[in-house]
Structure 1
């Protein structure tokens, strides 16, 4: 217990020593923060082995780190995929050689990672993906296209699921690979959003060659690994920091309502309390999910509960925020202290029902794997992928 108390104080001392960003942290500020955290023995690497760049501590220490950092400005928004998804996958399924090569820089924020599942013809039905991986001597040759890849344009590496055997059924014959996002054969086209940001990307692979030993996990286990990675994604999205009870959307609503004077409206206060209650419930679900991870378990289908509820809250939050913001939800003047924030909030809320699996997919998972309801009929069961009419196949 003394060790945990000492560690908590170390986390507090570290966070107190860090310069507070003027607003939302820049990418450079986030990188510097993670480098400093790694050097101090805190941060994303807390529960990972020291030989692979981590602090070599326990999940109990990791929980303390998460609790402490929630009391300070969020510094890791662009590292959610790197640290919340790619890092645990590398730790769980990478070879010792891969871990030594990639994990230290991944933990310290020296490299940013993305994940590549979705394709133009494989969104919710990811198993219909057509990106090909063909073994040629000591290299894998990758050809195909991914879409909606978050932060691909800033990433140095990524994890990609590709089809290596089209003679197997669509959920088989898939494998996961480590890709160099800056290598010849990779073309990244940012998708320009209505607010001027470019958060998502199209990624094209043309005869991209990667080393044979950049296969992550075993051959033909890509669907199993993709499912595990999606579980980590749903925890990262649905469980947030996962330390205690936090209500970030309620806090934003409170700021909007106070600034506009709408806080004095009893209807607005009632709406705000709905969000308060929903976020409290979501936080309790997150704590349960994190407790399972603390016990050493890979996140299960229960992670879909928090992810789905987060989407429901975001939709409700959007409705209320736009009512409070009024005309400033579509236009604002330069001296408006909340100028543009309502627009960004609205835009992001739509992604919450898509990223990490649509709301419909989450409900299917909860019905099938949590509640034990009958599965929907599958017309492609037992059919080789090359014989299916999916995507661009005819």
Structure 2
């Protein structure tokens, strides 16, 4: 069974947490003891209703304010698919939280309040979804019960959002009218929205095609671990373990080890403890190479037909996640997959306005939640792809060398 990672995003009070709660509740993915605790804590207990938003608003501060602050992750499964949900905050000051939640998402559900239509927050979250190259977007027009399930209201919002999607180049966009509070079109089709002929939200989530999102052309295998048992039975065993990010590898394929640029050949492939002739993304495997090469964690084994860029200087869009300001000359550890290298911020080109996509030239400092274009110089060469070409080898993070806190998320250009 495959796994779908998706994120919910929208303005404050658009109903993101309620939507997730409804998905979990109606798909019977809540344990009985959890449900009992929810009933006791429910704010709506006096009228007999359960406050489903409490399923994801786990922090005390969130419950007190009635808003989502942190990214909450929930896991559930149906007979067709497994799911990981990231519930991201709607406030501007939590942009970094949304970037964190969306960085590995296959799909984004963008909620729109049917009473308000497309608002500034809608555009901001759509811009972030575009920047992060999320392959699939569902526009869930919520609170349809508060506009008397009007088809005209729904159609006008679809027309407005289609312009946003076209401008941002969003790829696969689908629209659905829902009421998260009442459960309309969440798990089952709603009789109250009879004019909507499409599937329910859960049905879309279960059937959205993920196979096409995996790049099987550009072969990238970052080494996570070098296996050297050095026992009598396995005296000469040397395997390179990791997860194939993209591409297909076959026994006998000529490959190159980067960033050193050393050519060699795949001698054997192990998958699930057995030798196989061929393996592909996103499998975790052990590769054996023909030549005895000095390879360590973080090196990249690639096939020769579509090589990545190898350089010690990169340009990237950077979402700043630290309270301490970013200024040119600051030094950090840069990590891309399992490769970690020391780096310095060489230049800040511009700040990106996440409301209008306007480029504001050369800010002197970068504050928390800012998205900026930077040039980063690394102590040694790294092998990378452009983020929009290959997400799995184009995303990186910056780490504070003293506190080891992740301070920035990079989308390499």
Alignment TM-score, normalising by the size of structure 1: 0.24
Higher relative contact order (CA 8 A, sep 6+): 1
Higher strand share: 2
TM-score (norm 2): 0.23
Structure number with greater Rg is 2
